[in-house]
Amino acid sequence: MHIQWYPGHMTKAMRMMQDAIKQVDCVIYVLDCRAVSSCINPKFDEMIADKPVLYVLNKKDLVPSGEVKVWLDYFASRGATALAVSSVGNKERNAVLDGLKKINSAVISKYREKGVNKIVRAMVVGVPNSGKSTLINCLCAGKRAVTGNRPGVTRGKQWVRLDEGIELLDTPGTLPPSFEDQGKAVNLAFVGSIKEDVVRVDELAIEFIDFCKNRGIDEFCNRYGIDGFEYSYEEIFDAVGKARGVQKVRGEYDYDRVASIIMDDFRKQKFGKIMLDYPEK
């Protein structure tokens, strides 16, 4: 399958961010722990090149805990500041605030020497559905930004002030204008960063079946009562439809519905906690 999705509002969002980057001291770069590499937008990297960056690996509760360290070590090896959170608790809230103060320590000290308390302004960026607004709500200790479990909820920039002398700029989730690596595009579709109405859900489910086969994820077969992956996609879809009680129409299962069930089961961790990509060696 080939995925290309860059609606007009993302072009507008990138222009807005390019203007707003001049107003901020640093950037919070939110990445979905399940697909860290796929969430890195080269256009963001160009835009924020001269700003201190705090990489926040979000949704750490959705991947095996031991595997998150692989990415934290990767960023550390490149001199970057990164931490992993699940956007839910005070402990993680404090960790993000400490990270912001760390990457801005030089400018904070500079102002402090002048007797001025510096207000740190941070732009929050990420692909759609990476959890930016949820993270901001966590940092605010209350619900101030609009959130949703679908891409495209945040459409305009939103400033939020925290009690700790920090201001956050929430920005719309934005994808690269094009995907040279279609594997990354597929991963983003897996985690819901690309709307399902712009991809064929049956083809997406087939990609996921191939992923499970290549990774040896036996939980997929166990869930649907399949004794292995050595079947046709049609036979696997039939097995899923039967296992999940999908009603047949004229003697056949609705494969789009079956495919949606497969993707929904992945997002609900019914096959266990899965990390989709790893740092390139």
On whether the CB atoms of residues 131 and 58 are closer than 8 A, the answer is: yes
- Closest Cα to residue 233, out of 201, 205, 196? 205
For the residues 47-55, what does the mean pLDDT come to? Answer: 94
Distance CA 167, CA 233 (A): 50
Ranges of beta strands (E only) in 119-157 are 120-125
- pTM of the entire predicted model: 0.89
Residues of the chain with CATH 3.40.50.300: 8-170
Question: Which residue intervals of the chain bear CATH 1.10.1580.10?
Answer: 200-267
- pLDDT at residue 155, as a whole number: 46
Backbone angles phi, psi at 274, to 5 degrees: -130, 130
Note the pLDDT tens digit of each residue in 67-90: 999 999 999 999 999 999 986 677
Q: Does residue 157 surpass a pLDDT of 70?
A: no
Lowest-pLDDT range of 101-105, 203-207, 219-223: 101-105
- Judge whether residue 250 has pLDDT over 90: no
* pLDDT top residue among 263 and 94: 263
- pLDDT value of position 87: 67
* pLDDT at res. 260: 96
Domain 200-267 is of which CATH architecture?
Answer: Orthogonal Bundle (1.10)
Instruction: Encode pLDDT of 15-30 as tens digits.
Output: 999 999 999 999 999 9
- Please, which pLDDT band fits residue 151 given cuts at 50, 70 and 90? very low
Q: Does domain 8-170 have CATH number 2.60.40.3880?
A: no
